[in-house]
Amino acid sequence: MSRRIADDARFLPLLAAGAILFGIFAARDATLLQAGTYAAIYGIAAIGLSVLLGNVAQISIGQAGFFGIGAYSLGFLTASVTWPAAVPPWMQYALGTLAAVALATLLGLILGFIALRFRGHYLAMATLAFGLICVGVFRESKALGGASGITGIPFPQFGGLAISGRASFWFVWLVVAAVALLTLNLLRGRTGRAFEAIRNDELAAETVGVPTRRYKIFAFAFAGALAGLAGSLYASYLGLVDPSAVGVSLSIDLLLMVVLGGAGGVSGALLGATLVAIANIYGHDLENWRPVIYGVLVIVVVIAFPGGLAGLLRSGRRSRTTVLPLPDAAAPLPARAPRAVTDSWLRVEDASKRFGGLLAVDGVSFGLATGTLTSLIGPNGAGKTTLFNAICGVGRVTSGRIFIADREVTDWRPHAIAALGVGRSFQNARLFADMTVLENVIAGAFPLEHAGFASDLLGLPQSRRSERFARERAADVLRLLGLERLAGTLARDLAFGDRRRIELARAVASDPGLLLVDEPAAGLNASERSRLREDLLALKAAGKTLLLIEHDMRLVMEISDRVMVLRFGKLIADGTPEAVRNDPHVISAYLGTAS
Amino acid sequence: MLQQSPQLVLAGLTVGAGYALVALGIHIILRATRVINFAQGEFVIVGGLLAYTCVTVLHANVWLALAGATLAGFALGLFYERAVLRPAARGGELTATIATIGTVYVLLYGHALIWGSLPQPLPFFSGGERDAKWVIGGVEVAAQQVWVLALLALALLATYLFFDRTTYGKAIRAAANNPLGARLVGIDVDRARAVSVAIAVALAAYGGSIIGPITLVGGAAGVAIGIKGFVGAIVGGLESPVGCAAGGLLVGVIEKLLEGQFGYGVADPVVYSLLLAMLLVRPQGLFGVRGVARD
């Protein structure tokens, strides 16, 4: 569990105590109690947006659309529809809530699917358009009451009991408690680790095997579901809903709550929602100034205090010493299902990659024998990294085919290729900067884990087992490479050479059959270089197939079983280091007269 | 419908002029700072209201008011870049996006504090209480509509000449394309960014002043103008200045035709859906080049 989420969890009992005290002391003050009730209702929607914005780094300014869908679904089903007498009111309420959440989730999935195509500001605009379309539909729909909306929505019903007045406060905060627990479960689990990886570096997340699209869609659906739930609570608490209550300004208010409180997790969202709800009720004297102040606050907080209120309360994240979990001899790690035994981890058939007028890779074909170390060399711009990208799915080939472990993966996405057993390091070491070394390597074990959304959300034992497994696996890898002392260091604090080695550790954590290593020796000093040499040979001895891009000729000649030379996208030589060293083409094209 | 349509097209081009200037401003700011300015529509309203103040308080004539609002927009843009965009951009794209959304709130409710929440009328550019009208080929043409389209053309031409024909305009474009390279040849990149934002805000303020006599200025209209301007930019191509201007006009025409056929309530959601549809089908826009729209 990452520190950020641990802090969040630690904060929850305080928030719960705060809510209970608030409920007791505000019991006689109807206005204050109302503010507290709104805080809970908006807080639920804010939690969803907080996860989206703070944990997955996706923005939405259309959350009011989902809120409206929830409110209108419940309103329509409990106030506009005439139910047969056999259906008791509590069942109508339950069905209405269920429909509200289900419909909001479904639209969240759809919006998430659309949103995948965009980043940053495009995403913001697309979600804004979604929110506006929702309001337009509510306003134009006669069945939903047009501009005057739906009135006469009954209070929540349980058995013969209608929940109104003071009871509403306790009821909505109970729902908040449930939502907070589910959200924390989710963030603690494999899903939360995937979110964290996506937030840090989407491409790196994809290459360690995180299906980033699926997780992003899920995050949108989750945020949509919570906004829908909040909307349904709003409609039944107030007894009515109209288009003006679910317009763009609500979307921006929700954004304000999250930014003010601190995006990411639960506590910031609830703090922000409480502050705004109280300000909304007590700010009447400032009626016209209030939104201006809100706007200024958003700008100031997002620029000067990006962690929001929760970020100010919690200590900044720093590197620290982490004691690695010792392997539990009594309960051996579940062994990974043995990979398909193949004598050909990688086969490239006539691969070409064109960028506009430039043919970066030109009809390259080769295969790698299992358990060998092959180096790919060539002058800068020869197409080496382009070829790597094509193999691991980051940049598809223009023509030709690529097989990994005898399966064609030419059109696969990087995460699926990673899950087949391909690990990769980048030329510029793309670590997850805000995560510790241990967390980075745990993320590398992602494909070996089994927990899914549902077991994470409900905090099932499978979710915990999965985390324990990944943690022990990561600890093993760090021990194997002699990197234990760095476990608690934040990746962004690492020295350059260490960064390289941690990236290798992360790639190894998924127990890959094939490792693609891009210029590992660049910028290393002599001792780091000799350690790298040992690491690579140890990996080969462990049966991995390695493909290395490297400019350090001495290293290449020392450790390679085979050397391939790429020049202007074409393979011009391929053989033992000895043969390539003496190849006249290579000498003239690449090595020059030296060596 | 068919008989009305030339009339509706003309009305659409008139409101579309506002969207076109918003779209062009969004394009200029995006190119200079890599930030989408959500507040562009509010600057249209603020500009129109500044012109209104010039006319009612300072008793300036409309032309001086137009110049005053445009200059004030330029100054406001310099301030906005320094106070909001520059520090926010350091925090990354999400931070910058959120900061411009915060700006929408400040401007939207801020101008209501100063000028009240009701839209205000600007005087017609030809003078007089009622605008001169001609009927040409069955289409009723108001003098202000002619002014709007002529002044839009003038602004577009001036923008083009500045960025394409002057040394400083070219330097700004160089700074946007390759900040490091521009710094190496001695261009003050920060200043180039500030001037770009200032020009974009000035264009918005100018737009508010020329459409003000027709649409009135104030109230909550800026939100819709901003979003429709963005729809125009997406339809035409966010990376293409010509596309942005043409897209803005096109959105205005589509909006008025839909309004004429189905009424006001239907037109807006359909125009917003157009945004989603374009983003999905042709994100580079009608005038854009594939592969550049989604960086």
> How close is the nearest chain A Cα to the Cα of B187, in Å?
27
Q: Which residue of B has its CA nearest to A259?
A: B98
Range with the poorest average pLDDT among A172-176, A331-335, A366-370, B7-11:
A331-335
| Interchain proximity B266–A132, CB inside 8 Å | no
Q: Which of B94, B114, B225 to mutate to test the interface with A (most CBs of A within 10 A)?
A: B94
Confidence band of B67 (pLDDT split at 50, 70, 90) = very high
> How close is the nearest chain A Cα to the Cα of B91, in Å?
7
| Interchain proximity A129–B273, CB inside 8 Å | yes
Model confidence pLDDT, tens digit, residues A194-207:
999 999 999 999 99
Tokens encoding A170: 């306790």
Task: Please name every residue paired with A490 in a beta bridge, in sequence order, or none if there are none.
Answer: A436
- CA B205 remoteness from chain centre: 8
Q: How far is B122 from B129, CA to CA, in rounded Å? A: 10
Tokens encoding A25: 């002391």
Amino acid code (one letter) for B39: A
Contact between A401 and A410 under an 8 Å Cβ cutoff? The reply is: yes
Top mean pLDDT of A213-217, A226-230, A375-379 is at: A226-230
Q: How far is A79 from B14, CA to CA, in rounded Å? A: 44
Among candidates B175, B172, B179, which has minimal Cα distance to B195? B172
Range with the poorest average pLDDT among A101-115, A320-334, A414-428, B89-103:
A320-334
> How close is the nearest chain A Cα to the Cα of B60, in Å?
30
DSSP SS3 for A505: helix
Q: Is the pLDDT of residue A125 over 70?
A: yes
Question: Would residue A483 be called left, alpha or beta, if left means φ above 0 and alpha means ψ between -120 and 50 degrees?
Answer: alpha
Q: Is the dihedral of CA A568, A574, A578, A584 positive or negative?
A: negative
A218 Cβ contact list (under 8 Å, min separation 6): A112, A191, A453
Q: How far is A42 from A231, CA to CA, in rounded Å? A: 8
Q: Is the dihedral of CA A156, A162, A164, A170 positive or negative?
A: negative
Q: Is the pLDDT of residue A120 over 70?
A: no
Confidence band of A517 (pLDDT split at 50, 70, 90) = very high
**Residue B274 or residue A119, greater confidence:** B274
Residue pointed to by tokens 């006599």 = B213
Model confidence pLDDT, tens digit, residues A459-515:
999 898 888 889 999 999 999 888 889 998 999 999 888 898 999 999 999 889 999
* Least CB–CB distance from B279: residue in A118, A120, A256: A118
Length of chain B, please? 295
Query: Element (H or E) spanning A323, and its range?
Result: none
DSSP SS3 for A149: coil
Q: How far is A176 from A269, CA to CA, in rounded Å? A: 11
Q: How far is A200 from A432, CA to CA, in rounded Å? A: 5
* Least CB–CB distance from B113: residue in A124, A132, A289: A289
Q: How many CB atoms lie within 10 A of CB A527?
A: 9
| pLDDT value for B102 | 93
Q: How far is A543 from A157, CA to CA, in rounded Å? A: 63
Confidence band of A85 (pLDDT split at 50, 70, 90) = confident
Q: Is A297 on the interface with B (CB under 8 A)?
A: yes
> How close is the nearest chain A Cα to the Cα of B246, in Å?
20
**Measured distance between the N- and C-terminal CA atoms of chain B, rounded to whole angstroms:** 41
Contact between B243 and B236 under an 8 Å Cβ cutoff? The reply is: yes
Q: How far is B234 from B276, CA to CA, in rounded Å? A: 9
Q: Is B187 on the interface with A (CB under 8 A)?
A: no
Question: Would residue A482 be called left, alpha or beta, if left means φ above 0 and alpha means ψ between -120 and 50 degrees?
Answer: left
Q: Is the pLDDT of residue B226 over 80?
A: yes
Model confidence pLDDT, tens digit, residues A565-582:
998 899 988 999 999 888
In total, the C-beta contacts within 8 angstroms joining chain A to chain B are 130
Q: How far is B232 from B15, CA to CA, in rounded Å? A: 12
Output the average pLDDT for chain A. 88
Among candidates B47, B17, B260, which has minimal Cα distance to B145? B17
Query: Which residues of chain A are within 8 Å of residue B265 when distances are taken between CB atoms?
Result: 136, 139-140
Q: Which residue of A has its CA nearest to B262?
A: A140
Model confidence pLDDT, tens digit, residues A232-274:
999 999 999 999 999 988 999 999 999 999 998 899 999 999 9
* Least CB–CB distance from A306: residue in B95, B223, B266: B95
Tell me the DSSP string of A451-487.
Answer: --HHHHHTT-HHHHHHHHHHHHHHHHHHHHTT-GGGT
| Interchain proximity A117–B36, CB inside 8 Å | no
**Residue B116 or residue A94, greater confidence:** A94
Q: Is A118 on the interface with B (CB under 8 A)?
A: yes
Confidence band of A334 (pLDDT split at 50, 70, 90) = very low
In this prediction, residues B142-146 reach a mean pLDDT of 89
DSSP SS3 for A209: coil
* Least CB–CB distance from A298: residue in B105, B108, B269: B105
Confidence band of B3 (pLDDT split at 50, 70, 90) = low
Q: Which residue of B has its CA nearest to A135?
A: B269
Query: Which residues of chain A are within 8 Å of residue B272 when distances are taken between CB atoms?
Result: 129, 132-133, 136
Residue pointed to by tokens 């807080």 = A43
Q: How far is A221 from A257, CA to CA, in rounded Å? A: 20
Torsions phi, psi of A310, nearest 5? -60, -35
| pLDDT value for B2 | 55
Q: Which residue of A has its CA nearest to B116?
A: A288
Q: Which residue of B has its CA nearest to A139?
A: B265
Q: Rounded to the nearest 5 degrees, what angle is found at the Cα of B281, between the Cα atoms of B278 and B287?
A: 65
Torsions phi, psi of A594, nearest 5? -70, -165
Q: Is A255 on the interface with B (CB under 8 A)?
A: yes
| Interchain proximity A59–B91, CB inside 8 Å | no
Helices (H), B138-240: 143-165, 167-177, 179-184, 189-215, 221-236
Q: Is the pLDDT of residue A118 over 90?
A: no
Q: How far is B69 from B84, CA to CA, in rounded Å? A: 21
> How close is the nearest chain B Cα to the Cα of A317, in Å?
17
B105 Cβ contact list (under 8 Å, min separation 6): A252, A291, A292, A294, A295, A298
Confidence band of A290 (pLDDT split at 50, 70, 90) = confident
| pLDDT value for B292 | 41
Range with the poorest average pLDDT among A469-478, B152-161, B261-270:
B261-270
Among candidates A452, A40, A374, which has minimal Cα distance to A230? A40
Q: Is B108 on the interface with A (CB under 8 A)?
A: yes
| pLDDT value for A318 | 66
Query: Which residues of chain A are within 8 Å of residue B109 when distances are taken between CB atoms?
Result: 288-292, 295
| Interchain proximity A124–B266, CB inside 8 Å | no
Q: Is B273 on the interface with A (CB under 8 A)?
A: yes
Q: Is B106 on the interface with A (CB under 8 A)?
A: yes
A273 Cβ contact list (under 8 Å, min separation 6): A39, A40, A42, A43, A46, A257, A261
Pairing verdict, β A373-377 and A562-567: parallel
| pLDDT value for A65 | 97
Q: How far is A337 from A360, CA to CA, in rounded Å? A: 38
In this prediction, residues B6-35 reach a mean pLDDT of 93
Q: Is the pLDDT of residue A329 over 50?
A: no
In this prediction, residues B231-245 reach a mean pLDDT of 91
DSSP structural state of residue A76: I
Query: Which residues of chain A are within 8 Å of residue B110 when distances are taken between CB atoms?
Result: 292, 295
- State the Cα torsion B84-B85-B87-B90 to the nearest 10°: 150
Tokens encoding A29: 């003050």
Among candidates B278, B228, B275, which has minimal Cα distance to B253? B228
| pLDDT value for A328 | 52
Among candidates A380, A502, A570, A433, which has minimal Cα distance to B92? A433
Tokens encoding B218: 């104030």
Q: How far is A122 from B230, CA to CA, in rounded Å? A: 10
Q: What are the Cα distances from residue A485, in Å, to A321, A489, B123? A: 7, 8, 74
Q: Which of A63, A138, A260, A298 to mutate to test the interface with B (most CBs of B within 10 A)?
A: A298
DSSP SS3 for B266: helix
Q: Which of B31, B84, B101 to mutate to test the interface with A (most CBs of A within 10 A)?
A: B101
Q: How far is A372 from A137, CA to CA, in rounded Å? A: 62
Q: How far is A137 from B237, CA to CA, in rounded Å? A: 27
Contact between A494 and A326 under an 8 Å Cβ cutoff? The reply is: no
Contact between B13 and B149 under an 8 Å Cβ cutoff? The reply is: yes
Contact between B249 and B16 under an 8 Å Cβ cutoff? The reply is: yes
| Interchain proximity B36–A124, CB inside 8 Å | yes
**Contacts from A159-168 at CB under 8 Å and sequence distance 24+?**
A159/A90, A162/A89, A166/A27, A166/A33, A168/A37, A168/A237
| Interchain proximity B265–A124, CB inside 8 Å | no
| Interchain proximity A133–B269, CB inside 8 Å | yes
Model confidence pLDDT, tens digit, residues A26-76:
888 888 999 999 999 999 999 999 999 999 999 999 999 999 999 999 999
Q: Is B91 on the interface with A (CB under 8 A)?
A: yes
Helices (H), A189-285: 190-200, 202-207, 212-238, 248-261, 267-282
Query: Which residues of chain B are within 8 Å of residue A201 when distances are taken between CB atoms?
Result: none
| Interchain proximity B94–A137, CB inside 8 Å | no
* Least CB–CB distance from A298: residue in B101, B107, B108: B101
Query: What percent of chain A lies above the pLDDT cut of 90?
Result: 56
Rounded to two decimals, the pTM is 0.90
Contact between A329 and A380 under an 8 Å Cβ cutoff? The reply is: no
Residue pointed to by tokens 């003071």 = A166
